[in-house]
Structure formats: C-alpha cells, structure tokens
Structure 1
Amino acid sequence: MPKLVRFVIALTLLLMVSAGSWAAPPTAQQALVTLNVSAGYDGYFREGQWTPLLITVSNQGDAIEGRLVARQERSPALTSTFSTPLSLATGARQTLFLYVTLRNFAQSVTLELIDNNNEIITEIPVLIRHLPPRDKLYVVVSQASSGTFDLSSIATGGNQAVQANWQPANLPDKASALTAVNWLVFSDADSGELTLNQRRAVSEWVNAGGHLVVTGGANWQPTAAAFTDLLPLTPNGTTSVTDFAGLVTLAAGAVEADALAGDFVITTGDLLPDAQVLASSSTGTPLLTRRRYGGGTVDYLAASPLIAPLRGWGALDQLWLTLLTSVDVQPSWASGFSNIDVGIDGVELLPGYSALPEVTSLIGFLVLYIVLVGPVNYILLARINRRELAWLTIPVLIVVFSVLAWATGFNLRGNEVLLSRLTVVQSWANSDTAYAEQLIGLLAPRRANYTLSVNDNRLLRPVERVNQTGRFFGNTSTAVEVYQGATFAAQNFPVDASFVASFSTSASLPAPAISGQATISYEVDGRQGVRGTLRNDSDFTLTNPVILARGLVIRLEEDLAPGALFIFDEASYLLQATGSAPPTPIELVRGQVTNNNSAYYYNRYYYSEDYIGVDRTALDIIGGDRYETLNYYGIGYQNVQTDDETRRQQRFLNAFMNDQYNSTARANNVYLIGWGDTAPFDEEVAGAGWRTVDSTVYITALAVDHQASAAGTEVVASPDQFTWVALEREGGDDLSPTNLSLYGDNTVVFRYTPVPSAVLTEVTDLSVVFGFSENSGNNVIAIELWDWRSRAWETFTIVPGKTRINRPERFVGPLNAVQLRISRDAADGYRSVGQLGVEQTGRF
C-alpha cells in the first residue's frame, strides 16, 4: 500500500478518535438547566395564527443572561425566528410565553436557550399538530379533581373538534394568541390566579368576537372572580332549584326531563340591563344567561356541568350545540386576513410616490445621452480634426452619464424609509375597547439592514406572498427575527433598495370617539325601516362615510368632520325584509376564503344592485362606480376610472373582507364605516429617518334597538336574519345553503337559528325559501323538516320562491331553530340549489 494512502487512512482514524473524545457529554451548566414547554393548545396549532409556547425554565447552575429562541434554521415550519430575553439567577425558576406562527406541515419546534455569547446552553424539541381551519378548537380551563367534561363530540358538518384542557397558568397574556380558539370555557377553576395581563387578554379576545362560557355552582366565587366585568349578571350567592326545565328546552331533550329533577344548587345574581335570559327553572330562576360584549358573547351557566345532574346528562351535548349555534353573526371583516397577497398589493400602492422617474424625464435623459455620445461628439471631434479621440471621449461620457444616473436615482429615493400602513379599527357601542389589525410595508431607499419595532402591546410578525408568480419587486422573503421583550421588534433584517418588506400587527386599543344609535322599526304592512344618528367626537375627519345595514347602503354625501352630527330617517331607508339574501354561516373560517361553488373571480365582473358575491361588502364600501374588478392575481382590469388611493383602499378591504358563502352577515346590525389618513399606532425604525403613508378604515357597530309600530304587529324574520350550521355532510365537505350542488349520494342537514334580535315570542308562519339554480334540470325538490315533538323527519315538496309549512310550531325548536335535510340518492338526477333558507313570521 502506498505510503500516502496509509498516511491518509491513519489521519482519518486519528481524527475520528479525536472527534469522539472531543464530543464531551453535556456541560455541567446544561445538566443544571431544565426546560419544560407546553406548546399551543395541548399540542395543536392553526397555520398562520399566533401560537403560545408556555415555557418554564429552572436553573440550578450559574446565573444565565441570554434568550429563548425558536429558529427557522432548526424548525423550518416556523414563519420566522422568534426570541424572548431571559435573565435567570442561580436557583431561580421562571415561566414565560413565547409566541410563534407556524406553517401547516409543522410537526415539531426546537426551542433553544442561548446565552449572550451565542452558545446553546440547552434545547428541547416540542411536538405539535396542525388543526385544519374548519375543525373546532375548544379550550376548557378547570381545576376540578373529578376531571372535566368532553366537548370534542360537538363537531359540525363532518369536521372534527378537539379540546384542550388547561390550567389558569396556560392562558396567554396576549389576546391575539387566542384567535385560533372557537370556545373558551371556565368551569370550577380559580380565575383569581390569572394575572392582570391574562385577564385583559380574555376580555380583549371576547371583545374582538370570542365566545366565553363561565359556569357557576358551589364554586362560583373563585370561578367568576376575574370575569365580573364580562358576565351577564353579578353573582352574589347560591340557591336551590328542583328542576332545570329551561335547559331541557334549550337542549331539545324532553326525553331527558326526568333526569334533571331533584334539589340542586345554582348561582344567583343581579342581571345586567343588557343581559338575556336563555333558560330558567319552572319558578323563573335564571339558569343560563347571555350578554353581548363588544363583538363577542359571554354565557353564564348557573350550575356546574361537572356535578350531577348535568354531569352524565344525555342531552348535555345538545345544550352545548344550542349555545354554539345561537350567537349573533360575525360580520364579513371578522375573520382576519384571508387574501394576504392582495393586502400586500395595497401596501405597495403608494399614492403620489414612485420608485422610478417620470417617463418623459427618462426619455429625455436617454435622448440627451444618445445625442451627446453620437452626433455631438462626432461633430466636435470632426471640427478639431481629432476623430481618433473618440476612444477617450465616449468612455468619459459613459462614465459621466452613469454617475449622473446613479446620483439622480439616489436622490429620487431619498434618505428616508417609507412606512406604508394599512389599518382596520373595529369598535362597538357597548365597549370602550377597539380591536385593530394592520399591514405595514417598509420601503427601503437603499440596501441595508433595518430594525422595525412597535412601542405598544401589538404583536408583530413578517408576512409574505402566497403566490410569488411574476413578482420581481417587493416583498421578497428574508429571514427575520421577531424579538419579544417589553414590546415586539423585527430585528436587523435586510431589504434591497426600492423593495418592500411587509409585516402584520394586531392589538386592542381605546375605541375612537365615533358613535351612533339606530332603531329598526317594524310596520303593520311588513315594511322594516331604520333611522338613527351618527356623531364624530374624534379629532379627525371620517372620509367617504358609509352606513351598512341588512340589504341597505347609505352613502353620506359629505365627510364626517370632528363634532359633526348626521341624522337618517326610516322614511327613506327601508331594510330588506324579504328576498333572496343568504343566511349567515356560523362556520366562519378565519384567515381562509370559504366560498362553496360560487364563481369567486367571475361573478364580481357583473355588478348590479342585487349583486351577491364574496366581495359584496367591499364593493358597498368603495362604491360600484369606483370598484375595480380584479383577476386571480389581484391585478385590476381598469374597468373604472379611479385613483391610487381608492385602489389602495379596495385592495386592503379585499384582503380581509370575505362574504363567506356569499352572505354579507349583517343581520340586524348597523355599521358606520369611513376612512382616516393617520394610523392609531406608532413604530420606530432604528438608525434611519422615516415617514408614513397611512390609510385607516374605521368600522363602528352602532347601538341598535327594535320598535314595533303597534302592539301585536307581525314581524318577518327573513333568511338573512338567520345563521346556519351544517350538522351533517355526506358526500362533500363544503355543502352549504348557497350554490348547493348534489352529485352523488349526498345528504346534508342544516340548522337555521334566528339571530338573538330576531327570536320571536310567537311564530305564526314558517316558510322554506328555495332559490332555483339555472344549472339544475329540476325546479321542484323534496326536503325534510325535523319535527321536534315527534322527533322524526317529515317530507315536503317545495318550489322556487317561498313554500309555507302547515302547523309550523312542530318544526320550531330551541330559540326558534329549524332543522332541514336535503338528499340525493343514486336514483335522482343532478340537483343544484341556488339558495335554501327559512323565513318566520310572528310577534316579539
């Protein structure tokens, strides 16, 4: 064997042995530091939404100064790198939250503890599981020794439901980290253990549209301690009741009535003026109360479901289902950013700003260059008879014009960073707190590293396009570290000259001083009108204000200046009482376009007054004469004459306003929407001067009351005053009452429930509303209605329009809910339904 080969083999073996000896066991410091992580919601997370990591660090070694980091390099499913500082003395123990966002393929996240010398002290892998958007997520906070109840069976439409069982310490201290939760239940847990930030987070989450359920019973005091400002009543003691009759009615479980007879302890209290009693005992003692708080709902169950008689009650799941499906509607802008690409288009639209020089200036520059390098240069050299100098003059002119072009471009971009900010601020009549979501674009004047920080309680994260096709400039993906200290900051990220780095923020803030009152009136002839007043007590002008109500758009002729008052009268403004407006889905999917089989990118091309589509709300706000149709990539067809600011506003609205299943989801709510030219927040760009371009849309839900013109006036609850949920779906995962297509062996069961303000005391008439689809060969169909008394399905033949149902009281269930089933078996032909809804007539 040649000497060289032997030498190489020996050297290799030596290095291997040496490497083994150098791979020392964990250092003493590593062995003395312990990391424990509770990830997400018992391990579950939703893609693109904030996920809390509850971290506990124990240190029995030397004092530690460093940070906890979840890095993209170690966990590729992270959308960014996320870190938070840590200072831990010897013998100390600390619990803190780190908030991250993940992609749907994530299976684990590696958490590292790194000291200030960038050395890893210890690390731990954490397993996680993705939860699809349509699946329900219930969080139950309980400390009961007997365990908790199971909500995982309360799934709708063939989807799944998961339940996370938490201790009070698991609750995040940021409201945005609860966005993924459908339901938060506090039962037999000491809410007094919650920190002030945790309490604020729950309150802000409910205000922004969350659904909180708190239970009473013998342990009512510690359970309700943190929620006295949210509950529909002020608990003050306990009493005994002998029945839960109202709960049996709500659960539609009359066969279980005997199981709820006895002597039971419930919580009593003083009802708030805006409280609604959903269920009472036979003696009138409230058992279940509800309150609308901001955009969300708070339910209080006076008994504990963890002890008899509710524990083990066969109809308890039906009671939970009724609570879940009977809340007020969530408007089309309540589901977060569902089309981030279009939103980034809006961020990159900067009225009055261009990264390129004017076309005429550019042409003039090129013409001057060509003339000087060519004819002028030749003529001058010819006149002095020194044409051979062209080899020198041409390069000199090229260098001069190159320097001039560089200097001109440098000066055109300036020295300041430009922050493009698009913000939506939602506020409600019964809350002093608003909720804001924001897109920020950082336009760099030249290539450099930047640090963008917020100086408030906002959560900040980078966002990038889903579809990068054909996008050369703007929003390129770069590694960004999101530092979470007292505030959030995106640290030291690179941006090329004239490129835009995009970010998203969310937080609660004090509500703007914009208010209003609306009254919906019911006339004897069936007409429904709306009147009211608006007032702007803020310090800014609300431009292009619009009032939105059910089937109604009121466009104010003038801006609403500070101190301005506007009055509108029902004589001129009638609500849509009948017609083809679709009901509202309870199955809203946050951050995702859910549109069934309707033509998302085609229906919108044909605007008319009765247009129905997923962007109807955005169109109503912008106005049909200024609304620009967009293709699949969000590029406008220039079908209308409009300006850059309007285009910017429209794209921002299209990013988060999604009329899911073609419902505008207004029901009996009335909204004032207008624009401001300043943002409600401030940021800092470290080491650089900066200025802003702002567009802020303010959405204010007005206080609404209802008034009948005379006692006993009959009122129509139209289809768009109902919510719907699919209880069963066979043969399709997106079957809905709008654009319903049945091809194979399909069966779908819908439950329609009137919104709280449309629940009639007496229902005298029930109709099924059938919208015929031109794609169907059959305009007469058979449907089934659930008879709540005989607990059986009854078949009806319906035709396009409205079909009245005889003896309607049989088909009216808890809170006037109606259940409808439609099927297609192999013997039937293709069946297509444009719309399927219900309508009720009666008295309040």
Structure 2
Amino acid sequence: MLGGLLLVLLGFAAAAGAADAPGLSATIKAGFEGNYRNGEWFGVQVTLSNDSDDDRSGTLGLTAQGGLRAASLDIALPGHSRKQVWLYAFNSDYSGNIQLALRRGGSILLQRDVSLSFNDNSSFIVAVVGGEGGALSSLSGMTLGNIATTQGSGSSRTTVAHIGLDELPPAPAALDGLDALVIVDGDTVRLSEAQRAAVRAWVVGGGDLVIAGGQAGASNAAGFADTLPVRVAAPQPLADLSPLAMFAGSSEPITLTGQVVASGATLQPGARLLAASPDGNPLLAQRNYGRGRVSYIAVDPNLGALRAWGGYTNLWQSLFAAHYSGPTFNALNMNRYGFGASLLPQLDLPDPVLLFIILLVYIAVVGPLNYLLLRQLGRREFAWLTIPLITLLFAAIFYAIGYQSKGGDVLISRSAVVFASGQDDTALVAGTVGIFSPSRTSYSLSLSDTALAGDAGYSSSSSFGNTSANTSNLRLGAPNRLTDIAISNWQQREVAVQDNIKLPPQFSAQARLDGPTVKVTVKNLASQPYTDAVLYAPSEQQVSASFSLAAGESKEVALAKKYSGADQLVSDLSGGNGGRVYCCGSGGGVVYFP
C-alpha cells in the first residue's frame, strides 16, 4: 500500500487515500459490525497511530452524500503516539458509504472510505459479544414474528452482528439502532463507567439486554450485577435443558451427550422466573428495566446442543417477544414531543384586527386627510413630500408593533421526554431546545460529554430534510458542543438532544381494582411539587384526569378515559408547556407538564 501505510479493516472494507501523511495508520470499527439503522445515530470507533517524528494533530470528521449528520473531533497526535476516539453519525439517507478524514487546515492528512450495511426500521438488530463460531449466527436473516424493534412491533428480519466489548459506544444515542445486546463471553467490569451507563440508559429506553451464564457467567454479569434479574453464583453441572424447550413451546427435545455447565443463581425481587431446572435453579429469568428488559440465561447460548436443536429460533423469538407499548421517539425527529419547544408567543403573528385598524388609519391619513389639509393650507403641491413622510411614519409604527410583539431578547424553550428505570437513578432523556433569535446570527450550545445533538426533524422555519437549514456542527470534546446554529432575525430553530442522566425515582405507584376501574395510588418521591400531571397506562389505552402532587404527597387517581395512543397524548396535552414523561415498569408512567 502507498508509503508503506497499514490499514486495518475490522468488519467492513475501506480504501486508503492517496494523500495520506507518512506514518499514519488507522483501525476503524463502524456501527455494529458495519451495520446501522437508517434514521438513528451510530458510533464509529477510530484508532489512529502516528509512527513518524512529525506532529499529525488535526480535526477528525465524517462526511457523506445525502442526509449524513456527523460529529467532528479535534485530536492531538504527536509523533510516535496512538489515540482511540469515538465519532458519531446520523444517516437519514440510503447511502451505504461514508468518508473518514483527518484534516489540518486545508490539508488532508488521512482519508478512508467506510462501507456500511443499511438496515431499515423493520430489521431486528442483535449485537453479540463473544462466543466462538459466531454465536446466534443461525438467526441472521430469519424473520421472527411478534418481535418489538426500536421502531415498533411486527415481523422482523434479524441481523446478527458480532462485536467486542470495546465496541459499545459511551453515548447512549449511538445504541438506538440496536434492538438487543447479548453478552455471551465478555468481562463487563472492563467496560468504562460511561459505557455501562450508556447500556443501562439504552435498556431504559426499550432495549433488550441478555446476559448469558455458563463458564463465563460471573464475568458476563459482573458489570451489571445490580440490573440483573438474578444474583449469579458459582457454576454447576446440568444434565437437563428441557425447561428451555418448554419455554420455547417446542416439542423437540434438547439432546445432551453429557452434562453442561450452568451458572448457579438466585432470583432477585421483582424478577420473573421463565424456566428453572428440576432443583429450582433459574435457567431463564427476566425483569423490566424502564421500557426495556434485562434477561438471564444460565447456559452458554453457543452450546452445540442448543444450536443443533430445532427449537433454537423459537427460544429467542419468545425471549425477544414484543414487550412494551409506551410512546416511541426518535432523537432527531421528535415531532410530537419536541413540538412544545416551538410554541412561543413571539412566533405568533400580531393581532390582525390591530393591523387592519392601523391600515385603515394609514389609508385615511395618506389619502383624504392629507389632501384636505393641504387644500386648506393652499399647498397641494407639497403632496410629493407629505406622502413619503406619512408612509415612513406608519412604517415605523408597524415596525414598533412587530418589535413589541416579537421582542428583542434571545429566548430558550425546552421540551423533554425522560424515561426512568423506576429502580435506580438511571434515566434516558430525549428532547428539543428551541432558540428564538431577535437578530440574524449563529449560536452554540454546550452539552455533556455523552450527549449527541443535531437539528430537529421539524422547525418553525424549516422542515426535516432541508439540508440548507441543517447547518449546525457537533464538536466532540469536554464538553460536547453544537456550533453554527444559524438563525434569521425573529426566527426559531429547534435542536434535538439525547443523553443519559441520573434521576432518582420521582414517583411510586400501587394499583388496585375497584370494580371495572383501575385506581392507582401515586406518591411524589421528589422534593418538588408536580402540577397538571396525568397517569396513563398505554397497554390499556387509559388515562386519568389531571392532578397535582405536593412533595411527599400521595393521591389515588382513577384510570378511566380511553385514549388512542400515549405518544399522541403527550402532544395533545403539552400545549407548549414542555411536557416530561417519566416511564417505569412495562411502559406506564406519569406525564408531567410544569
């Protein structure tokens, strides 16, 4: 290869550029073994090595034709150094290729073409960590019915991607394109705190995390011990897997030639036991975690006896079966949840009655009154002067009315959806920030290190897909920043932001049946009051009347009114007040409008 450069390809094909600076090499891992879902963020892990004596510092970024929105990063790369960094991209086009480039000034130090595999919204994408011989590979390409993807439920074509633990991005939004994560063999303690927090937030938002047992069971579980449905104990021999066949609804037995290794375990409070060995050891268990689930299987799913079993597909289909019916969202296309951020009085037109009255006065003054006055003075020839002066005067009046109604201050509005685990302080937040500008200028937003942001999928002044409006740039760093948010005078732009946050449980709830009515006792666990809250149960399509809760107060409310969809409920009730949704359990929660 040119200049003796070494390009390491992992999971996809890439081509070296002809203008690479001497001494530079790159290892690139994009998406999930090259897979990404259209309309979702995905991560690109880049490892750069500089074997020369020269400094190769620059700006690392991604580009593509069409609807790619990508982050960039300033990277310091002195001589004889190696750096591993994450970039992120959001592709709303069907293009399968992107370009990675390291630039300094007007020069390109390194450039690579990256091929990606497109997956549409009907795909069910499973990432598998560890496992020899391609664990779960037999599911790839199969159509599984009654499966909940991140975009809805139905029959789904399965894509299986094999990744390493280090390929899990530390930004939760970059996991959005993933439906399930199965850890077959990986020491999860090695994950950084940011990676573990991102995985937990992804589960809270609706992901399926499966931790496998067997010889590697303890190390697989270690990083997520507090999240699992079981407490993993020492491994033990097992000679009968028929309970797994019963769970899968398969009449074909699982044939074992001898004993296999299964992780010992005890069921955690609140978890569901799906299958157990004859001596009561959990073989398959599950618990809700926010809108998602965490599952545990006591044996290595890569066992030859399991993979050769005719019910193997049914086992995973049953485990991944549709499980939530709560509101859905997309970080950059939150048309329902984010719309409240664009409802500002400053964006409304002035009162048309007032404008009509002023227009009538203008016509009367510039016409008959002006003529009568000049005739009275005997100076009708001055009309060439008085008419422009009157026009300027009323133009100033119209401008003053517009300025008074629009204002001269920069205004910030927010609307957010918060999905909480309901068990600890893990929460996923997705929302929009609206910026109203009284003048034509550009703005920057400061974000957390793990937040991803970009132009929202709608705007009060532009529409999704209008690339001329999507001019902002996401710059990664400490903190991340969204720059170059260009706004015309008296216009508003909306920016979509997604991140994980720490949020202690805000509410507790206990339900009971009172005849045909479900009544729920809700307690405010927070230190602040909540007003105009609504309790909803999406699975039953029921919603309560609005209520208020002081800090520490409990109140019983009834679920009665039928509603076609919880996501539409958020839109209809928000009215520009910036609604927040706190979800827990299997999707129910509290809609709160401050």
Shorter-chain TM-score bucket reads 0.7 to 0.9
Q: Which residue of 2 aligns with 1:330?
A: 324
Q: Which residue of 2 aligns with 1:37?
A: 28
Q: Which residue of 2 aligns with 1:297?
A: 293
Q: What's the CA shift for 1:101?
A: 0.5
> Is it true that 1:381 corresponds to 2:374 in the alignment?
yes
From the superposition, tell whether residues 448 and 495 of structure 1 become closer, same or farther in structure 2 (CA, over 3 Å): same
Q: Which residue of 2 aligns with 1:163?
A: 160
> Is it true that 1:497 corresponds to 2:489 in the alignment?
yes
> Is it true that 1:563 corresponds to 2:552 in the alignment?
yes
CA deviation string 1:613-652 (max 9, x = no partner): xx44357678xxxx6xxxxxxxxxxxxxxxxx854469x8
Tell me how far apart the structure 1 counterparts of residues 205 and 237 of structure 2 sit (CA, whole Å): 36
User: Percent sequence identity over matched residues?
Assistant: 26
CA deviation string 1:81-123 (max 9, x = no partner): 53122111211111111111002321211111112x2432221
Q: State the superposition RMSD in angstroms.
A: 3.5
Question: Which amino acid is the alignment partner of residue 385 of structure 1?
Answer: G
Task: Provide structure 1 residue ranges, at least 5 long, that are not aligned to the other structure.
Answer: 1-24, 576-608, 628-644, 658-664, 678-844
CA deviation string 1:428-479 (max 9, x = no partner): 432322222212222221211222333464321112349999x89x997242
From the superposition, tell whether residues 160 and 538 of structure 1 become closer, same or farther in structure 2 (CA, over 3 Å): same
Asked if structure 2 preserves the Cα contact closer than 8 Å seen for 1:35 and 1:123, the reply is no
Q: Which residue of 2 aligns with 1:314?
A: 310
Q: Which residue of 1 aligns with 2:566?
A: 617
Paired residues for 1:786-797 under 5 Å: none
> Is it true that 1:149 corresponds to 2:136 in the alignment?
yes
From the superposition, tell whether residues 78 and 617 of structure 1 become closer, same or farther in structure 2 (CA, over 3 Å): closer
Q: Which residue of 2 aligns with 1:547?
A: 535
Task: Provide structure 2 residue ranges, at least 5 long, that are not aligned to the other structure.
Answer: 1-16, 146-154
From the superposition, tell whether residues 244 and 551 of structure 1 become closer, same or farther in structure 2 (CA, over 3 Å): closer
Q: Which residue of 1 aligns with 2:508?
A: 516
Q: Which residue of 2 aligns with 1:99?
A: 88
Asked if structure 1 preserves the Cα contact closer than 8 Å seen for 2:143 and 2:157, the reply is yes
From the superposition, tell whether residues 620 and 478 of structure 1 become closer, same or farther in structure 2 (CA, over 3 Å): closer
Paired residues for 1:149-298 under 5 Å: 149-150=136-137, 151-152=139-140, 154-157=142-145, 159-257=156-254, 259-260=255-256, 262-298=258-294
From the superposition, tell whether residues 65 and 407 of structure 1 become closer, same or farther in structure 2 (CA, over 3 Å): farther
From the superposition, tell whether residues 189 and 558 of structure 1 become closer, same or farther in structure 2 (CA, over 3 Å): closer
Paired residues for 1:598-747 under 5 Å: 615-617=564-566, 647-648=575-576, 671-677=588-594
Tell me how far apart the structure 2 counterparts of residues 308 and 283 of structure 1 sit (CA, whole Å): 24
Normalising by structure 2, report the TM-score: 0.85
Q: What's the CA shift for 1:275?
A: 2.9
From the superposition, tell whether residues 562 and 548 of structure 1 become closer, same or farther in structure 2 (CA, over 3 Å): same
Tell me how far apart the structure 2 counterparts of residues 675 and 300 of structure 1 sit (CA, whole Å): 34
Q: Which residue of 1 aligns with 2:351?
A: 358
Paired residues for 1:3-22 under 5 Å: none
Q: Which residue of 2 aligns with 1:83?
A: 72
Asked if structure 2 preserves the Cα contact closer than 8 Å seen for 1:245 and 1:282, the reply is no
Q: Secondary structure at the match of 2:61?
A: strand
Asked if structure 2 preserves the Cα contact closer than 8 Å seen for 1:294 and 1:428, the reply is yes
Q: Which residue of 1 aligns with 2:12?
A: none
Tell me how far apart the structure 2 counterparts of residues 475 and 167 of structure 1 sit (CA, whole Å): 35
CA deviation string 1:753-785 (max 9, x = no partner): xxxxxxxxxxxxxxxxxxxxxxxxxxxxxxxxx
Q: What's the CA shift for 1:76?
A: 2.3
Q: What's the CA shift for 1:207?
A: 2.2
Q: What's the CA shift for 1:672?
A: 4.5
> Is it true that 1:420 corresponds to 2:400 in the alignment?
no
Q: Secondary structure at the match of 1:309?
A: helix
Asked if structure 2 preserves the Cα contact closer than 8 Å seen for 1:518 and 1:530, the reply is no
Q: What's the CA shift for 1:161?
A: 1.3
Q: Which residue of 2 aligns with 1:538?
A: 526
Asked if structure 1 preserves the Cα contact closer than 8 Å seen for 2:203 and 2:209, the reply is yes
Q: What's the CA shift for 1:495?
A: 1.3
Asked if structure 2 preserves the Cα contact closer than 8 Å seen for 1:542 and 1:674, the reply is no
From the superposition, tell whether residues 295 and 96 of structure 1 become closer, same or farther in structure 2 (CA, over 3 Å): same
Asked if structure 1 preserves the Cα contact closer than 8 Å seen for 2:442 and 2:486, the reply is yes
Tell me how far apart the structure 2 counterparts of residues 214 and 532 of structure 1 sit (CA, whole Å): 33
Q: Secondary structure at the match of 1:430?
A: coil
Tell me how far apart the structure 2 counterparts of residues 610 and 292 of structure 1 sit (CA, whole Å): 25
Asked if structure 2 preserves the Cα contact closer than 8 Å seen for 1:111 and 1:126, the reply is yes
Q: Pick from 475, 480, 493 the counterpart of residue 483 of structure 1.
A: 475
CA deviation string 1:402-428 (max 9, x = no partner): 344445534543332222322122334
From the superposition, tell whether residues 267 and 555 of structure 1 become closer, same or farther in structure 2 (CA, over 3 Å): closer
Q: Pick from 46, 51, 60 the counterpart of residue 42 of structure 2.
A: 51
From the superposition, tell whether residues 466 and 104 of structure 1 become closer, same or farther in structure 2 (CA, over 3 Å): farther
Q: Pick from 98, 114, 120 the counterpart of residue 108 of structure 2.
A: 120
Q: What's the CA shift for 1:310?
A: 2.8
Q: What's the CA shift for 1:205?
A: 1.4
Tell me how far apart the structure 2 counterparts of residues 535 and 337 of structure 1 sit (CA, whole Å): 30
Normalising by structure 1, report the TM-score: 0.61
Q: Which residue of 1 aligns with 2:55?
A: 63
From the superposition, tell whether residues 88 and 392 of structure 1 become closer, same or farther in structure 2 (CA, over 3 Å): same
Asked if structure 2 preserves the Cα contact closer than 8 Å seen for 1:173 and 1:198, the reply is yes
Asked if structure 1 preserves the Cα contact closer than 8 Å seen for 2:62 and 2:98, the reply is yes
Asked if structure 2 preserves the Cα contact closer than 8 Å seen for 1:464 and 1:477, the reply is no
Question: Which amino acid is the alignment partner of residue 35 of structure 1?
Answer: A
Q: What's the CA shift for 1:324?
A: 1.5
From the superposition, tell whether residues 108 and 298 of structure 1 become closer, same or farther in structure 2 (CA, over 3 Å): same
More displaced 10-residue stretch of structure 1: 160-169 or 58-67: 58-67
Tell me how far apart the structure 2 counterparts of residues 323 and 273 of structure 1 sit (CA, whole Å): 20
Q: What's the CA shift for 1:167?
A: 0.9
From the superposition, tell whether residues 226 and 563 of structure 1 become closer, same or farther in structure 2 (CA, over 3 Å): closer
Q: What's the CA shift for 1:263?
A: 1.8
Tell me how far apart the structure 2 counterparts of residues 560 and 104 of structure 1 sit (CA, whole Å): 45
CA deviation string 1:306-340 (max 9, x = no partner): 34433433332222222112x6x313314547975
Tell me how far apart the structure 2 counterparts of residues 248 and 357 of structure 1 sit (CA, whole Å): 68
More displaced 10-residue stretch of structure 1: 527-536 or 477-486: 527-536
Question: Which amino acid is the alignment partner of residue 541 of structure 1?
Answer: P
Tell me how far apart the structure 1 counterparts of residues 176 and 217 of structure 2 sit (CA, whole Å): 27
Tell me how far apart the structure 1 counterparts of residues 416 and 570 of structure 2 sit (CA, whole Å): 15
Q: Which residue of 1 aligns with 2:5?
A: none
Tell me how far apart the structure 1 counterparts of residues 299 and 135 of structure 2 sit (CA, whole Å): 14
Asked if structure 2 preserves the Cα contact closer than 8 Å seen for 1:275 and 1:291, the reply is yes
Tell me how far apart the structure 1 counterparts of residues 335 and 68 of structure 2 sit (CA, whole Å): 16
Q: What's the CA shift for 1:176?
A: 1.6
Tell me how far apart the structure 1 counterparts of residues 565 and 315 of structure 2 sit (CA, whole Å): 35
Q: What's the CA shift for 1:52?
A: 0.9
Tell me how far apart the structure 2 counterparts of residues 196 and 428 of structure 1 sit (CA, whole Å): 17
From the superposition, tell whether residues 175 and 199 of structure 1 become closer, same or farther in structure 2 (CA, over 3 Å): same
From the superposition, tell whether residues 648 and 94 of structure 1 become closer, same or farther in structure 2 (CA, over 3 Å): same
Tell me how far apart the structure 1 counterparts of residues 540 and 319 of structure 2 sit (CA, whole Å): 27
Tell me how far apart the structure 2 counterparts of residues 466 and 393 of structure 1 sit (CA, whole Å): 43
Tell me how far apart the structure 2 counterparts of residues 468 and 155 of structure 1 sit (CA, whole Å): 41
Q: What's the CA shift for 1:138?
A: 0.7
Question: Which amino acid is the alignment partner of residue 381 of structure 1?
Answer: L
Q: Pick from 388, 393, 418 the counterpart of residue 395 of structure 1.
A: 388
Q: What's the CA shift for 1:180?
A: 1.3
Q: Which residue of 2 aligns with 1:135?
A: 123
Asked if structure 1 preserves the Cα contact closer than 8 Å seen for 2:24 and 2:48, the reply is yes
